[in-house]
Amino acid sequence: MTGDQHTQVVIVGGGQSGLAAGYHLRRLGLDFVILDAQAEPGGAWQHAWDSLHLFSPAAYSSLPGRPMPLQAGETYPDAGHVVAYLTEYERRYEFPVQRPVRVSGVHQDGRFLRVETDSGSWHARAVISATGTWWRPFLPAVPGRADFRGQQLHTVEYRNPRNFAGQRVVVVGGGNSGAQIAADLAYNTELTWVTQRPPSFLPDDIDGRALFNVATARRRALDEGRTDTGGVASLGDIVAVPPVRETRDAGLLKASPMFVRLERDGVVWADGTRAQADAVIWCTGFRPALSHLAPLQLRGRRGHIATVGTRAVDEPRLHLLGYGDWTGPASATLIGVGRPARDAAREIAALLAV
Ligand code: FAD
């Protein structure tokens, strides 16, 4: 579709965060459209590696209004189950999702925000940006990266261990992605797992449920003006999901410290020790995908957009949803995005009522 269209709210991104926002805007009777760059529903979950499972059971992984069904035979649902759930969710509520539509820029335009896309532009009274992080993989600036002749890939490009059978593989990263991908590769590659600091596993009986409870307790404390109870990071970095636990207990998940540089055929540590490698997999995280907001010039000196809750301080018609603790505790999780989505929708309804 081309041309200039109007709506009250444009939601940029049709993953779980965009859908949660749609749910609450609908409840408040606001008119909106969801513009999503993917051809199919499911956001980033469509691109997950084959063995990825949620770190919470289905009952702790639901968006507002519609519980995630159990997946037969799985305590922790897989990514395909999440995609099916999100697909059913947006169809059930008949959300006005347009895809594939990529938003190139959000601009101030008098009393409207103008949303430019690859299929026309929209004028809206408010915009919710819910574009996630998967689309902006982060790679650290390690010396020699360009010299390495083997294969280098980021978490977003990893699929399964088949392509690496028998190879010498270095997995970089001490978070959940690094631990899970290292566990995936541990049985049929010559694995070196490197982490910046010694890996910190959460206790085996703690999964996403407990993480959500900690984040909720923290939010309550902050809302009530009490002392910060600390975020989930205080518990550890890695959820010991079953494959990680099994591989660790089999003694196959031992981490080395971070190397200091790459060279033609491998990696080198500070003491001069070398390991040859056929592939390096960077499980080194993501950054919020915010290039479409550049025209608004909201980034401060440290590159951050200042927010109060989900609202941009310098552009109150813009809300940011689902990028992590930055826009609300646990807001990058399925169960955690509901509350900030509700708050954003309420603030927008109040703004439009003026
Ligand atoms: P996304 O799923 O990335 O959706 C954003 C959508 O916006 C995409 O469809 C994208 O194409 C679109 N988009 C981006 N830019 C534009 C643009 N310019 N114009 C139009 N559309 C655009 N959470 C849990 O609750 N439990 C878990 O177990 C869990 N495990 C995780 C494991 C990994 C490895 C990762 C990376 C995350 C995990 N998360 C988990 C966190 C979270 O649930 C996911 O990151 C989730 O995909 C975030 O949803 P989102 O809607 O914010 O972003």
**Domain boundary pick from 229, 263, 282:** 282
107 and 28 assigned to the same domain: yes
DSSP code at position 339: H
> Model confidence over 224-237: pLDDT tens digits?
777 776 666 666 78
> Model confidence over 182-191: pLDDT tens digits?
999 999 999 9
What gap in Å lies between CA 13 and CA 321, rounded to an integer?
Answer: 10
**Within-domain flag for 249:** yes
Residues with C-beta less than 6 Å from any ligand 1 atom: 12-18, 35-38, 43-45, 54-56, 61, 102-103, 130-132, 134-135, 177, 208, 289, 292, 322, 332-334
pLDDT value at position 206?
Answer: 75
The Å distance, Cα 15 to ligand 1 centre, comes to: 6
pLDDT value at position 231?
Answer: 65
164 and 88 assigned to the same domain: no
pLDDT averaged over the chain? 93
The Å distance, Cα 288 to ligand 1 centre, comes to: 10
Provide the strand spans (E) within 13-84.
32-35
**Within-domain flag for 59:** yes
Q: How many domains is the chain partitioned into structurally? A: 2
Listed residue (334, 319, 338, 336) closest to 126, CA to CA: 319
Q: What is the CATH number of the domain that holds 182?
A: 3.50.50.60
User: Residue 108 — φ and ψ, nearest 5°?
Assistant: -75, 135
64 and 181 assigned to the same domain: no
Mean pLDDT over 262-273 rounds to 98
Q: What is the 3-state secondary structure (H, E, C) of 159-182?
A: CCHHHHCCCEEEEECCCHHHHHHH
Contact 44, 15 (CB under 8 A): yes
- In this predicted structure, the answer to whether residue 159 has a pLDDT above a threshold of 60 is yes
pLDDT value at position 55?
Answer: 87
**Domain boundary pick from 222, 250, 282:** 282
- In this predicted structure, the answer to whether residue 213 has a pLDDT above a threshold of 90 is no
Alpha helices of the chain — where are they, by DSSP H?
A: 16-27, 79-92, 176-185, 208-223, 242-249, 338-353
Contact 51, 27 (CB under 8 A): no
**Within-domain flag for 221:** no
65 and 111 assigned to the same domain: yes
**6 pLDDT tier (thresholds 50, 70, 90):** very high
The Å distance, Cα 32 to ligand 1 centre, comes to: 20
The Å distance, Cα 17 to ligand 1 centre, comes to: 8
**Domain boundary pick from 282, 301, 317:** 282
% of the chain beyond a pLDDT of 90 = 81
pLDDT value at position 225?
Answer: 79
108 and 196 assigned to the same domain: no
pLDDT value at position 227?
Answer: 76
What gap in Å lies between CA 277 and CA 95, rounded to an integer?
Answer: 48
263 and 321 assigned to the same domain: no
Q: Which of 19, 333, 337, 339 to mutate to test the pocket of ligand 1 (most atoms within 8 A of CB)?
A: 333
How far out from the chain centre does Cα 62 lie?
16
- In this predicted structure, the answer to whether residue 1 has a pLDDT above a threshold of 60 is no
What is the identity of the amino acid at 247? Answer: T
**Within-domain flag for 214:** no
**Within-domain flag for 206:** no
What gap in Å lies between CA 77 and CA 59, rounded to an integer?
Answer: 10
Domain that holds residue 337: 4-135+286-353
**Within-domain flag for 348:** yes
**Within-domain flag for 141:** no
**Within-domain flag for 143:** no
37 and 129 assigned to the same domain: yes
248 and 346 assigned to the same domain: no
What is the identity of the amino acid at 283? Answer: C
